[in-house]
Amino acid sequence: MEMNLKNLNVLVTGASSGIGKAIAEAMGHSGARIAVHYNHHKKSAENIARQIGNNSSAFGADLENPDHCEKLFNNVVKEFGHIDVLVNNAGAVIMSPLENDTWIHDWDKTMAINLRAVGILCRLAIQHFKSRKSGRIINIASRAAFRGDTPELLAYAASKAGIVALSKSIARGFGKNGITCFVLAPGWVRTNRIKKSIKKYGENYILQDIALDKLTEPKDVASIAAFLAGGLADHATGTTIDINAASYVH
C-alpha cells in the first residue's frame, strides 16, 4: 500500500545520504514536501530536493551547534509555512577507545549531535505542533540503545538510548496536544557508513549477525518511516520499531 502524504511538510535531518536520503525520497514519492537537511553535502541535498519535487528544498546546518539547530527549524517554517512531521535521522558514529586522549571530546561531540540536537529540534517541534494541535516526530535510534555496542562506541550507544527515553517521554507527555512520537531502531544497514566494515570483514561476517539472508537496505527503514508519517499508526505512539533483521529482539 502506497502512503498518501500530500500536503505534508516534512523536515528530515541528515538527508543528503544513507537512511535519511531514503526517508526523504520515500516520503517525497508519496507526495510530501521535504526539507532536506545537510551539513557538508550541499550539492547532494539540492539534487535530492530537486528530484523529489513538490517544492522541496535543501537546508544546511551544523547540528553540533545549538544555534544552528534552532535556525534550521525556523528557516524551514519560514519557507514552508509550517512543519507536519519531524524526522531526526542525523547522527555521528565516532570510534573512540577508552585510551584515546580525545575520548571526552569524542563523547561530547557524539552527545551534541546524536542527542542534544534531537532534544532541541523536538522541543521546537513540540512548541510548533502544539499551536497546530497536530504533529508527528520520528526519531532514528539504533539497536545499540537496547543491546549496547562495542567498547569504542560507548557514547554512541548511550546517545541512542537517550533518544528512546526522550521519545517515550514526548509520547506520554504531549499526546493530548495531538503530538505523536515514534522510534525506529535499525541494526546493520547498507550505507556508506558500514562500507569499511564490509571491506574489512566481508559481507558474510555481517550476515552471520542477522537472521535474514540479506542485509537491511535504507529503503527498509524508509518505508516504515513513511507509514508512520501517514498517521495510520498514531496509537502506536511511544513505541520503538526494530529494523535489525532479528539481530537483536527484545
* Cell, residue 178: 495531538
Query: Is residue 156 annotated as a catalytic residue, yes or no?
Result: yes
Find all residues with CB under 8 Å of 225, minimum gap 6, and list them: 23, 26, 27, 87, 138, 184
Looking at the chain, list the stretches that DSSP marks H as alpha helix, in order from N- to C-terminal side. 18-29, 42-52, 66-80, 103-111, 117-132, 144-147, 154-174, 195-201, 203-207, 218-229
Q: Would you say 72 and 45 are in contact if contact means Cβ atoms under 8 Å apart?
A: no
Inter-CA distances, 202 with 152, 193, 195, 215, Å: 20, 14, 9, 12
In a 3-state reduction of DSSP, which class is residue 157?
helix
Are the beta carbons of 1 and 204 closer than 8 angstroms? Answer: no
Encode 200-227 in three state secondary structure: HHCHHHHHCCCCCCCCECHHHHHHHHHH
Farthest CA pair distance, the chain: 51
Residue 34 and residue 61 in contact, taking contact as beta carbons nearer than 8 Å: no
Catalytic residue (choose from 156, 201, 205, 248)? 156
| Positions marked catalytic | 156
